[in-house]
Amino acid sequence: MATIIVYQKPGCASNARQIKALKSAGHDVVVQDILKQPWHADELRSFFRNMPVNSWFNRAAPRIKSGEVNPDSIDAASALALMVGDPLLIRRPLIDVDGARSAGLDREPVLSLLGGKPQDDLEVCLHEAHRTRCPQT
């Protein structure tokens, strides 16, 4: 089984479920705090690979929900600059498996680690689904 580094937001119920799923699949999971990581644009960019820029964002982030940041009308350099300054904007979890990186659980290498099929229920924000507030740590 693989050793997986997962960058998550502490206290996020969705990230906790995602980590549990990876552990249940038999993997060793090393959890890192996405909010305390000293991000650099180039490093952050490596998690998004060929994803469209608008899918790099955490749509539940307060600045997106308020309309201050519009992921659908931003270029890559500006997106990365915003995310370096405000990690709540970053789509979670960020995954690193021996240098193979991804954002979210709906693409490789994570799909193979979870049995090869999308885990749609793991991508859903529990707070959004239940219309409750996420802790803003």
Residues annotated catalytic, as ranges: 12
The Cα 23–Cα 21 span in angstroms is: 5
How far CA 91 is from CA of 1, 2, 83, 104, in Å, comes to 25, 22, 10, 7
How far CA 107 is from CA of 11, 70, 96, 110, in Å, comes to 24, 23, 12, 6
CB 19 within 8 A of CB 9: no
The β-bridge partners of 4 are: 29
How far CA 115 is from CA of 22, 97, 112, in Å, comes to 10, 15, 5
| Paired tokens of 82 | 């915003």
